[in-house]
Amino acid sequence: MTLTENKIGFIGTGVMGKSMALNLQRAGYLINIYTRTKEKANDLIDHGAVWKESIKDLTVASDIIITMVGYPSDVEEVYFGENGILEHAKAGSCLIDMTTSKPSLAINIFQQAKAKSIHALDAPVSGGDIGAQKGTLAIMVGGEEDAYEALLPLFKTLGENIILQGPAGAGQHTKLANQITIASNMIGVCEAIIFAKKAGLDPSRVLESITTGAAGSWSLSNLGPRMIRGDFDPGFYVKHFIKDMTIALESAKEMDLDTPGLSLSLQLYKELAENGDGDSGTQALIKIFEKQNL
């Protein structure tokens, strides 16, 4: 049996999950789908995905199960309990949680899965809605090497930069390092745009110069232009970034690590959410700086 002959169960078809599942379909994978709101899966169903009425039904009918949900509490709900994945997955099947979640939760899933002869990987991603659509995500994997190698062709359908970072939980720790980097970088992007405007410059022309130099970053190149246009549609939700930064801050404190940049960014994003932008894209942070510098 080739990998594409395995039936993939995909749980969670939000901004990123939908595009990821669609890329798997285009690559020839057979997809079973479940999400809380069926309407969000209609495009996938129209392309041939098979709708399942419950997590249990999806699990029983799938060889590989991918989860891309919102919060650690959602991960717990999906994996544990009487109707959860771990209770109904077949021995020899593979579980891949691509949600950004707690490293300790990834380790728990791995241990319980291994006890039932089930493979489990934590494989959070970075690259936003654009990376999900183009299949160019960075995928950070934690788990056993044999499972990683077996699933590498599947990962290559979803992303380009795919690295096994270490044992269970290592993928989540790597993603938190990614989010810590973005947290401070987003403040810098906002301040640079506001500075350019105050100096009487065209911020779009400024970006043409600085994105190709030492200041260059994915956020500057991809989210900076959205900030300038006032395009705050979500590629990645503010509320989910707050979740990620909260997990990162908790993990840093567990290691007695001080992260002032992360703390400041979390504070600013919480203010943004309190102002009604929890469902906006992370580039909406510019609103806070515009308000402060009227």
Q: How far is residue 154 from each of residues 37, 144, 148, 177, measured CA to CA in Å?
A: 26, 16, 10, 24
Q: Which one of the listed residues 18, 52, 102, 175 is annotated catalytic? A: 175
Query: Are residues 243 and 70 in contact, defined by beta-carbon separation less than 8 angstroms?
Result: yes
Q: Which residues lie across from 89 on neighbouring strands? A: none
Q: Is 175 a catalytic residue?
A: yes
- Measured CA to CA, the distance from residue 114 to residue 168 in angstroms comes to 11
- Measured CA to CA, the distance from residue 64 to residue 3 in angstroms comes to 10
Q: Which residues of 172-211 are buried (b: 16+ CB within 10 A; e: fewer)?
A: bbbbbebbbbbbebbbebbebbbebbeeeeebeebbeebb
Q: Which residues are catalytic?
A: 175
